Structure 1
Amino acid sequence: MAWLDQGRPSLASSRGWRCFQLGLFLLPSSALLGSLLLFPALLFGCAGRDRPYWRDPWNAPLLAAAGLMVLGCFGAYDQGLAWVGLANWLPFFWGFWGFQPYLMNPESRRRSALWLVAGSVPVVVTGLGQLWWGWQGPWQLLGGLIVWFVAAGGRPEGRLSGLFDYANIASAWLALVWPLTLAALVQQGLNRWRRVVVVILAVLLVVALVLTESRNGWGSLVLVVPIVLGPPSWPWLIPLLALALLPVLLSVLPGVPLMLQDPARTLVPEGLWARLNDSQYGGERVLASTRISQWNVALQLIVERPWLGWGAAAFSVIYPLRTGQWHGHAHNLPLELAISHGLPVAVLMVGFVLALLVVSLRRGLSGLFDRAWWTALFVLMVLHGTDLPFFDSRLNIAGWILLAGLRSSFSERAHAQH
């Protein structure tokens, strides 16, 4: 218990801090197990606050969005789905505020980041096991209350998914954890054996992320490195990355002369350049199955109901009626928000996240792990430009905890000045 109490912020209760850390550790393996500890941590985090929820100006856009979301449910395309869909948002507006006491100083954010990294070990191990050793579920815990459907060979076949339902979701989690793992790897003060452990974990995580075959995940591997290592590394790191990426670009970009493209494709693994330019589809993907078609229909739906939207999950019902293809969402978070809850809500939520990222960057990031924390949230935001991994509750919870950490860094400075 004394070890768990280390790094506890002054405004956090010891019981809440212990629950919060262990909840972060269990979260990657199970949203239920993680929530059994994070929920009491949330209750402890709300007790004894110096001002109520509505007095924090950063909560104002969340309150406004919540009101519009509830109002839109009364005229939704499918009211049942619309009311249920609020569970993806309203509880997390509360969590954003309630988790802040646990993230009020750089050390608590560092420890929280390391708990997420350590908790991701089962994701990496099960993912590698399903591809390399044919591991297969379902595995049950607590009498079937928790079931892991680990698919032999991955889901879809040949792509690592681990404890997640789909490879792209596993990739999103690993991409979120990658900057935190990189910070753990390059931090100072580790002894030899701890350094060896972190190196092994970092290598396995990168391998797992590559094996998801997610193009977003591959992009995050490169994007994260210069941001986490910071500006001092840029004079040598950015030219090195550009040199390493040049053969990849030559192998996939259209219009590159064959005298350049053919040698590049001999250097770059075929699985990589084939995945990047969609050649596995033979260049004949059905238009209705592409992001472009989904976004075109999404824009039409927004124009038809711009103010309060169609209600949560309406896209999954309307899109098949208009195209004959099924997709559960619009593969873009601002579009999904505008379809489900209207343009004002989309503007409020996107503006809220961007404002947190910009303001925290302008005020300065205090150290390596705060840079990694900011980068993890930035990567998650970028991923939501072409997919919606937040529908997995583990990623949703982690994302709001990252947001709470950025907000806490402002409160930390305000308290220090006061």
Structure 2
Amino acid sequence: MLKDFDYRNKMLTNNFLKYAKKNYLNIGKYSFLIGVFLLPTAFVISALFLLFSLVLSFSKSKLCFLKDKLNLLVIIAIGMILFSSLINNTILIPRVLPNLDNSFVLLNLFNWIPPLLGFIGFQSYVKTEDDRLIFSKYLLSGTVPFIVSCLFQLFFDLHGPFQIFNGLIIWFQKPLEVTGGVSGLFSNRNYAGIWLSINLPFGIYLIKKNIKYKIKSLSILFITFLISYLIINTNSKNALLSMISTIIVFFGIKTFFIFSIGIIFFFVILNLLPTLNILEFIPETFLRIKRFTFFINTPRLVIFRSALNFIFQRPFLGWGSGTFALIYLAKDNMWNPPFVFHKFQHTHNLFLEMAFNFGIPISILLTSIAFYIFYKSLKVFYSNDKKDDYQNLNKAWISAGIVIFLIHLSDMTFYDGRVSMLICILFSGLRCISLTKNNLKICN
């Protein structure tokens, strides 16, 4: 009798633990999706939901995530970053910054460590095709208020900043004369550009998926059209290049050439009608293409050479996170950069930025991980002969990955918390795609 009681008690306990474990992750998933939805518009609130979901993910998986060697490499990279930052904050303080606050370098680590931990923890929430489908819907839905903010800035000249909760949530809404292009609630047009560019492939995917449902497909088509239109009006070269890459990925090189011929024809007509004063309606991005100076960006060459100069002075441990602008603008270095002096806040290249902050070994390690994930997901994608909705979803995910790589060749939008969180989630999804071929399990 006592044995039966013990057996029943054990079974009830096991069932309760299984139920609790299952709902544990469900709560985390809902928290994750709310965080994704609020990410562009209410970052602080979004960060709390994402953090909560991350804690639940790690609590449930315990150390299971270490079974994936790639996750283990990311943990090692985090350890190396902490070691490098500690050394730069104590022993190797830059001589040109004798009054540097001891907390400065450590506080700037928040730009790097949370996204790296997020890459590991968020895999639990994007591990299946259905998970990634739901994510894409929440991402695009959450972007709609941002699109509205851009339209108000562009057509109604609505300026901010607008803030609530003592500045915890800010919609910048800067004048177009200040930003040089549409930025909406973001502080910078380049941040707006990458956010729109990442959303574009998911918009195209959802149009294809819902093509049978007229009302739904038309609404998504309208949103996607607005995204494309606003990408052009950000006047961001990187965003325009990303849009072109997305067109090629989804519709092929032939469609891209037709699109390009249409643009060329437009400018030919423009030159044949000099009396037609429509230049004011053309975004600055296209005008720069017309002047054949679109891809010439000498300041970028200046900053790359300057960054390399600094990196080779401290190749192994770097200078410390967030110190580039301080060192570059320091009095002793004022005229050291080649060519002419430009005021820059960062290196405008993700590989160079990591090498400057933490040293070349860490930069090579993290860049290699990113390229490996992308390569493996591409391999899985092209080895799958099925042409279904989920294959198109994987194509959207890969296209978003291409956008991230392209933009971070010549910019550092990663420093916006919303962008870095989105990037880490997308790479979590790419990692899950890369594991599906061999049916490898991701920790729940």
Which TM-score bucket, shorter chain as reference? 0.7 to 0.9
**Structure 1, 266-275 or 146-155: larger mean CA deviation:** 266-275
* Corresponding residue to 2:327 among 318, 325, 343: 318
Tell me which residue corresponds to 2:289.
276
Aligned pair 1:240/2:249, yes or no? no
* Corresponding residue to 2:396 among 359, 368, 372: 372
Provide Cα deviations, 1:10-60, integer angstroms capped at 9, x if missing partner. Answer: 897221111111111100112212112111111222232274343320123
Tell me which residue corresponds to 1:382.
406
**1:155·1:165 contact (CA, 8 Å) conserved in 2?**
no
Measured in 1, the distance between the counterparts of 2:260 and 2:48 equals 45
Structure 2 unaligned blocks of 5 or more: 1-21, 95-99, 336-340, 383-389
Query: What is the letter of the counterpart of residue 367 of structure 1?
Result: Q
Sequence identity of aligned pairs in percent?
24
* Corresponding residue to 1:297 among 296, 306, 322: 306
**Structure 1, 370-379 or 390-399: larger mean CA deviation:** 370-379
**1:131·1:152 contact (CA, 8 Å) conserved in 2?**
no
**1:96·1:401 contact (CA, 8 Å) conserved in 2?**
yes
CA shift for structure 1 position 247:
5.4
Tell me the number of residue pairs that the alignment of Structure 1 and Structure 2 aligns. Answer: 390
Tell me which residue corresponds to 2:195.
173
- Compared with structure 1, are the counterparts of its residues 263 and 333 closer, same or farther at alpha carbon in structure 2 (3 Å cutoff)? farther
Tell me which residue corresponds to 1:54.
66
Measured in 1, the distance between the counterparts of 2:435 and 2:184 equals 37
CA shift for structure 1 position 244:
3.4
**1:110·1:369 contact (CA, 8 Å) conserved in 2?**
yes
Aligned pair 1:308/2:321, yes or no? no
Aligned pair 1:220/2:220, yes or no? no
Query: What is the letter of the counterpart of residue 90 of structure 1?
Result: I
- Compared with structure 1, are the counterparts of its residues 48 and 192 closer, same or farther at alpha carbon in structure 2 (3 Å cutoff)? same
Measured in 2, the distance between the counterparts of 1:156 and 1:96 equals 31
**2:35·2:46 contact (CA, 8 Å) conserved in 1?**
yes
Q: How does 1:13-412 map to 2 (within 5 A)?
A: 13-49=25-61, 51-73=63-85, 74=87, 75-77=92-94, 78=100, 80-153=103-176, 155-157=178-180, 159-188=181-210, 190-229=212-251, 233-234=252-253, 236-244=254-262, 246=264, 269=282, 271-276=284-289, 290-320=299-329, 321-323=333-335, 324-364=341-381, 366-412=390-436
**1:127·1:154 contact (CA, 8 Å) conserved in 2?**
no
**Structure 1, 42-51 or 176-185: larger mean CA deviation:** 42-51
Measured in 1, the distance between the counterparts of 2:376 and 2:24 equals 24
TM-score, structure 2 normalization: 0.80
Measured in 1, the distance between the counterparts of 2:71 and 2:114 equals 13
Measured in 1, the distance between the counterparts of 2:437 and 2:287 equals 48
**1:103·1:405 contact (CA, 8 Å) conserved in 2?**
yes
Please say which structure displays the higher CA radius of gyration: 2
What SS does the aligned partner of 1:165 have?
A: coil
**1:23·1:38 contact (CA, 8 Å) conserved in 2?**
yes
CA shift for structure 1 position 401:
0.2
CA shift for structure 1 position 128:
1.3
Query: What is the letter of the counterpart of residue 205 of structure 2?
Result: A
CA shift for structure 1 position 416:
6.9
- Compared with structure 1, are the counterparts of its residues 272 and 87 closer, same or farther at alpha carbon in structure 2 (3 Å cutoff)? closer
Measured in 2, the distance between the counterparts of 1:11 and 1:319 equals 51
Query: What is the letter of the counterpart of residue 221 of structure 2?
Result: V
What SS does the aligned partner of 1:151 have?
A: coil
**2:401·2:427 contact (CA, 8 Å) conserved in 1?**
yes
What SS does the aligned partner of 2:40 have?
A: coil
- Compared with structure 1, are the counterparts of its residues 190 and 120 closer, same or farther at alpha carbon in structure 2 (3 Å cutoff)? farther
What SS does the aligned partner of 1:136 have?
A: coil
